[in-house]
């Protein structure tokens, strides 16, 4: 009987110890558990944006430094060359990767770094009413999937003013400037899972040892050292904050009215 009682006591002690160990491991797992990772955001460079044989964009109106009294100024364009055709779909592999305009190739008009206005007519009146003041207009030839053409003659930049007031001008001859083309403020994943990141530089270059762009997407930072278009992969439905800022080789921001950009992009199904 004595041996039997000792056996029972031993079983109870072992059971109690085993229960205690399990409880401690469970607590440790809870304390050291790694939170689930959010969506992986990636940036992929696009090396094949066509240049259309260096075809050129000309602005007939408004003239540089024009004084305009109407709140909806008119832009008149000409495209010179044999390669870039308005209204045609861009004939390369990227048209299957990115959202395409059903109206084909066109012109992007960016005024004071606001989201671009797509221009499908060579005689175009600005959609939004402009208040009195000075404005910088960047016009660029665009592919059908909204990537701006990066060649010396594919763009024109100028400034004009609305009203007769006295307004400060922007240095467009020597000042370094960054303009955001894409994304705009909304993107539908049903049109394309990929989101285009595209920007334009004036009087500036990027390199591993020189100027660069600090890109932040939902707190994830990227250092961009090449002037190309990019694919943003991994953005899910919802609102996303995207910011770009132009820096010099010494890691100081390059001063300019357009060199720090923040945009909220709403991604839908």
pLDDT of 124-152, one tens digit each?
999 999 999 999 999 999 999 999 999 99
Distance, CA of 203 to CA of 131 (rounded, Å): 28
CA-CA-CA-CA torsion sign (123, 127, 132, 138): negative
Task: Give all domains of the chain, ordered by start, each with its CATH number.
Answer: 42-268 (2.60.40.10)
Predicted confidence (pLDDT) per residue in 55-108, tens digit: 999 999 999 999 999 999 999 999 999 999 999 999 887 878 899 999 999 999
pLDDT (0 to 100) of residue 227: 98
What is the rounded average pLDDT of the residues 144-166? 97
Listing DSSP states for 70-94 in one string gives SSS-EEEEEEESSS--TTPPP-SGG
Q: Where are the beta strands (DSSP E) in 65-153?
A: 66-68, 74-80, 106-111, 117-119, 123-125, 133-142
| Residue written as token pair 């024109």 | 156
Kindly list the distances between the CA atom of residue 182 and the CA atoms of 86, 108, 251, 260, in Å, as whole numbers in the listed order: 20, 11, 25, 15
Measured torsion, CA atoms of residues 60, 66, 69, 70, in degrees rounded to the nearest 10 = 30
Instruction: Tell me the two tokens of residue 143.
Output: 């592919």
Predicted confidence (pLDDT) per residue in 241-261, tens digit: 999 999 999 999 999 999 999
Distance, CA of 50 to CA of 54 (rounded, Å): 10
């Amino acid at each position: 009987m004595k041996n039997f009682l000792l056996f029972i006591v031993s079983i109870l002690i072992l059971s109690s110890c085993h229960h205690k160990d399990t409880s401690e491991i469970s607590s440790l797992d809870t304390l050291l558990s790694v939170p689930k990772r959010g969506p992986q955001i990636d940036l992929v460079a696009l090396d094949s944006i066509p240049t259309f044989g260096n075809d050129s964009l000309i602005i007939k109106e408004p003239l540089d430094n024009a004084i305009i009294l109407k709140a909806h100024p008119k832009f008149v364009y000409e495209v010179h060359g044999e390669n870039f055709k308005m209204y045609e779909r861009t004939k390369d592999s990227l048209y299957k990767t990115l959202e395409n305009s059903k109206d084909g190739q066109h012109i992007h008009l960016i005024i004071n770094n606001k989201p671009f206005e797509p221009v499908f007519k060579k005689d175009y009146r600005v959609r939004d009413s402009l208040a009195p003041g000075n404005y910088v207009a960047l016009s660029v030839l665009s592919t059908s999937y909204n990537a701006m053409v990066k060649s010396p003659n594919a763009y024109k930049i100028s400034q004009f003013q609305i009203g007769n007031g006295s307004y400060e001008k922007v240095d467009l001859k020597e000042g370094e400037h960054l303009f955001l083309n894409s994304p705009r403020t909304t993107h539908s994943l049903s049109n394309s899972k990929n989101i285009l990141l595209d920007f334009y530089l004036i009087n500036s270059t990027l390199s591993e040892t020189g100027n660069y762009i600090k890109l932040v997407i939902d707190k994830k930072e990227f250092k961009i050292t090449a002037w190309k278009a990019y694919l943003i992969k991994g953005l899910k439905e919802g609102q996303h904050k995207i910011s770009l800022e132009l820096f010099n080789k010494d890691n100081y921001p390059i001063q300019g009215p357009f060199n720090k950009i923040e945009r909220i992009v709403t991604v839908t199904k």
